[in-house]
Chain A
């Protein structure tokens, strides 16, 4: 049973790891009106694995390279490429009854993504145009975006406005299907210097999507063809003069038309140490409610699927169930001569159904853990 289903479930995760929020032109810091002084070349390796008790693990190895350079003090070009590959079995509870055939159609479980952006800097702001492309055997995603920032004369307030259009093409390996998904997003943000040690950012974003949201690798899955969501992101960075360290707090509220609400809180603290070392411990708390059409595990039938009303929308995807998660992380970086920087980061994330603060969790789901390590090397020039 395992081998066939595990390869296909792996694909689900592969598809899951498509570009997504990857290379968004994020709302810029306080000095959005100045072109970067230096260019940068960076490389980063990611090793990811997840697990559930007594279930095989999935592994992802990813490599990304970024090059950014200022041009004539007024422009900046930023290019990022990513290559990732997925191996191993899915840890997912529901993969046990994956009965779909067609595993032989699978191509390599790799994803290639490219992201390009060009920014023009003006005395009072900046304008960024970006495009991104991501490809795997069953999923192609294309996106274009435009974002502008305007700073107040004091440079203490920056207002950011952005928009993007994303078109995805889905061609599952297991069924004869070609479908699309189109997503329009808009962002409004304000960055404000509060004091010489505090800076705050509030981003409001709205996304409207239409198309194929169903998971083709799940035999019992039927989702609406519309999904709109709204997020409010608040960030606050504070500098401690006593320790010369900085805390970085963020809170995000998310609500979508699947009926999911979520809260994300994250806290990081960056402490510079002697010899150009920096230490960054972090914690992240997450909690979500279930989608309206999520069908919980029925202990009577488990591990067989619960009874489902096939008239409406339904999913057994645990990612659309109610749960909470806690991540603990640590990042260490060291700067060497000639602007070389080496960094290593480790995160351990635990997902538990009973940590859902905004709804009752699905007690039929097994605990789920993720471990990821990143190793980076970069040089400014």
Chain B
């Protein structure tokens, strides 16, 4: 368990530092035309995501990852 956690933290650290390092090439507020498009956000179609994640979490062992909370599941 501890090993997993370490691996996870390491992966997270790596990814975020890569992310932030290159993030230093700052994108200005007036350059966010493309980022402002709905398909570039991470939220998407909420009802669609709801159904889809629901189906997978009840047919597969894994679940979660994109948020916290939500009801529990009698699935597995």
A and B touching (C-beta < 8 Å)?
A: yes
Return 29 A-B CB contacts under 8 Å, by A number.
A15-B74, A16-B75, A18-B72, A20-B71, A21-B66, A24-B66, A24-B68, A24-B69, A31-B41, A42-B46, A44-B48, A62-B51, A138-B74, A143-B71, A157-B20, A168-B74, A185-B69, A192-B19, A196-B34, A199-B42, A202-B16, A205-B64, A215-B76, A229-B62, A234-B15, A239-B37, A248-B39, A254-B65, A325-B60
The 7 closest A-B pairs by CB, nearest first: A19-B71, A24-B67, A145-B69, A164-B69, A15-B74, A141-B71, A29-B41
Contact: A229 with B20, CB < 8 Å? no
| CB-defined contacts of A5 to chain B, threshold 8 Å | none
Contact: B68 with A164, CB < 8 Å? yes
A window 88-113: CB within 8 A of B? 113
A residues with a Cβ closer than 8 A to B are: 13, 15-31, 42-44, 46, 48, 50, 62, 64, 66, 80, 82, 113, 115, 130, 132-134, 138-139, 141-145, 147, 154-157, 162-164, 166-168, 170, 181, 183, 185-188, 190-197, 199-205, 207, 209, 213, 215, 228-235, 237, 239, 241, 245-246, 248, 252-258, 260, 262, 264, 270, 278, 286, 288, 291, 317, 319-320, 325, 331, 343, 345, 347, 349, 351, 370, 372, 374, 376
Residue in B9, B11, B23, B39 whose beta carbon sits within 8 Å of that of A270 in the complex: B39
| CB-defined contacts of A199 to chain B, threshold 8 Å | 35, 40, 42
B residues with a Cβ closer than 8 A to A are: 1, 4-5, 8-9, 11-12, 15-16, 19-20, 22-23, 25-27, 29, 31-37, 39-43, 45-76
Residue in A29, A188, A202, A231 whose beta carbon sits within 8 Å of that of B19 in the complex: A202
Contact: B71 with A166, CB < 8 Å? yes
In the bound complex, CA of A376 to CA of B42 (Å):
19
A286 CB to nearest chain B CB (Å): 6
Contact: A194 with B23, CB < 8 Å? yes
Q: A246's closest neighbor in chain B, by CB?
A: B39
Contact: A22 with B71, CB < 8 Å? yes
